[in-house]
Amino acid sequence: MKGEFTAVIEKRGRWYVGYVEEIPGVNTQGRTLKEVRENLKEALLLITRRL
């Protein structure tokens, strides 16, 4: 599966929360934007391998 997805990242207190709009279950949190972006990539890979 290849394509482009929309990542939404919001700051909530001291944490960042991120999710991919198009695929339920691809969500994460982290202390930095970099950490959230890396976690989203990993979560996306894990979910798309199951599809």
Let me know if residue 13 belongs to a domain: yes
How far is residue 12 CA from its own chain's centroid?
A: 15
Question: Can you say whether the dihedral through the CA atoms of 23, 28, 32, 38 is positive or negative?
Answer: negative
Instruction: Report whether pLDDT(40) > 90.
Output: yes
pTM: 0.84
Average pLDDT over residues 24-35: 96
What's the number of domains the chain is made of? 1
Domain extent, residue 35, equals 7-50
Instruction: Report whether pLDDT(48) > 70.
Output: yes
Let me know if residue 16 belongs to a domain: yes
